[in-house]
Amino acid sequence: MAMAMRMATAVALAMSDARAYLSRTATAEGQPMTERKFETKPLAVPSSRISRFAKLSGLGANIAGSVAAEGAKQLARGQRPNMGALLMTPANARKVADKLAQMRGAAMKVGQLMSMDAGDMLPPELADILARLRAEAHHMPGQQLKKVLTTAWGSDWLKRFKKFEVRPLAAASIGQVHRAQTRDGRDLAIKVQYPGVRRSIDSDVDNVAGLMRFAGLVPKGLDITPMILEAKRQLHEEADYEREGEYLDLFGKLLKDRPEFRVPELHADFTTREVLAMSYIEAKPIEVLEDASQEERNRVMRLIIELIFDELFVFRLMQTDPNFANFRYDPETGQIILLDFGATRAFDEDFAERYRTLLRAGLADDHVGIRAAAREIGFLSEDMPEALEDQMLSMFLMSLEPLRHDGEFDFGANDLALRMRDAGMAMSEQREHMRIPPMDTLFLQRKFGGVYLLATKMGARINLRELIQKHI
């Protein structure tokens, strides 16, 4: 459980797609195409398995060479080289981060997952370097973009558009987003998948995991096999844009009577497995609310937290990516715009009921009930030392403080995050007994942790006990 909570906290830190704007205009095949300034440079995505493997192999050889050279220097000085210290250097971590950012796709995504899920177990300077993968992504050059869209839509696709912005609004690990206006008057946001992503997922994940192990970026006591299997499963789902489109459409229907929220409309005629078309919605990053009134910050965060509880206990369907960029805000209407449903996950009724049981016991301060429910969910294992189990249960009770608080909990004026971090770091000393929790639980805790950090960033004050009571 502690691992899940620390993972949740790390995952939510500063995960955002790069966004910016560009002023100049270009044309393609006689059609007007506007461009916006993007913070990163265009860089072709290696699309074949051989080219992707070669880049990672070259990186491994580069790291091995730097280790050998530095080790020889230490021997010449009469020092005994420490292999772990030679591998786990900021320079090597920077090489890994740079290469994964160039490759994008599953290689970059698994690097993000590793930095998120084990970030607090790495030396701070290494965690900071790898964290760049959560905020940086290069974009495809125009010719590569054109080739992808021609494969998806046919050679005359540009004739269907009045305007298509070549430079993306956003670029991430699997794809990039462009704004376009169709000839029939639709204003669209079009997500285009990088070439070769789907077919290279399994090999990318295996190769990057091997590289991470070789480079000493995975703690020895941590079994990352469940994480690797889950990364493959999740990436195959996220790389299917038709699937994401179905969830986009479903969430729009689930929230159609909730005017506080707005979900882009799916445009199925432009959607394929590699391209997702949806209505473009003008909105601001959710962070603009930091300058809003206390009342408005409270209202928005209350709605977002209510939505999480509804996703778990009512819809049993959750968008599990805690990226702040997946929430946008319209200052004119006060609406919250929800984006990116590639990481949507369904939970069965038994799973939701186990969480109800755990929360009931926690709110009642029933330590026997908490221990039983935590074992049922899979937070605690049979071979876990009693002292570590007690620490984890204590940490769980700590995490419930916002829900147990009588009245409004002030996210901006408490030290809970620091105490949780310190408790997690103390337990990391017993990492040989740590286990990655069930994956459903991991993704749920990750979303909770992300929204907690967003509420803290907003300095929101919310009566959480009141919100959760109707569900348990």
Pair of tokens at residue 91: 């320079």
Tell me which residue has tokens 């509420």. Answer: 455
pLDDT at position 22, please?
A: 24
Number of residues in the chain: 472
Six-digit token pair at 82? Answer: 């420490």
Expressed in percent and rounded to 5, the helix, strand and coil fractions of the chain are 55, 10, 30
Catalytic residue among 117, 120, 321, 440: 321
pLDDT at 88: 53
How far is Cα 456 from Cα 418, in angstroms, rounded to an integer? 12
**pLDDT of the chain along its 472 residues, tens only?**
333 333 323 322 222 222 222 222 233 333 333 333 334 566 555 545 545 545 555 554 555 555 445 555 555 555 554 444 545 555 656 666 665 655 554 555 555 554 444 444 445 545 555 555 555 557 788 888 999 999 999 999 999 999 999 989 887 778 889 999 999 999 999 999 988 888 878 877 777 777 666 655 555 666 667 777 877 888 888 889 999 999 999 999 999 999 999 999 999 999 999 999 999 999 999 999 999 999 999 999 999 999 999 999 999 999 988 778 899 999 999 999 999 999 899 999 999 999 999 999 988 888 889 888 888 888 777 777 777 778 778 888 888 888 888 899 999 888 777 777 677 666 655 555 555 667 788 788 878 888 888 999 899 999 999 999 999 8
Q: Which helix (H) or strand (E) holds 461?
A: strand 461-462
Beta bridge partners of 381: none
- The 3-state secondary structure of 400-449 reads CHHHHCCCCEECCCCCHHHHHHHHHHHHHHHHHHCCCCCHHHHHHHHHHH
pLDDT value, residue 424: 67
Hey, which residues does 171 pair with through a beta bridge?
18, 176
Q: What is the pLDDT of residue 117?
A: 45
The crossing angle, in degrees rounded to 10, of helices 201-214 and 225-238 is 150
pTM of the model: 0.75
Is 117 assigned a catalytic role?
Answer: no
Both tokens assigned to 47? 């699309």
Q: Which two structure tokens, joined as six digits, stand for 346?
A: 């369904």
Say how far apart CA 449 and CA 455 lie, in whole Å.
10
Nearest to 241 by CA among 270, 264, 265, 262: 270
Residues 166/33, Cβ–Cβ less than 8 Å = yes
Report in angstroms the alpha-carbon separations of 64 from 57, 74, 110, 217: 10, 15, 21, 14
Q: Are 38 and 32 in contact (CB under 8 A)?
A: no
DSSP assignments along 214-277, one per residue: HTT-S-TT---HHHHHHHHHHHHHHT-HHHHHHHHHHHHHHTTT-TTEE-PPB-GGG--SSEEE
Residue 9 has, within 13 A of its CA and on its CB side, a CA count of: 20
Of 338, 283, 332, 270, the closest CA to residue 169 belongs to: 283
What is residue 372's three-state secondary structure? helix
What pLDDT sits at residue 73?
54
Count CB neighbours of 15 within 10 A. 22
How crowded is residue 51: how many other Cβ atoms within 10 Å of its Cβ?
A: 13
The residue whose two tokens read 């981060």 is: 97
Give the separation between CA 102 and CA 44, rounded to whole angstroms.
8
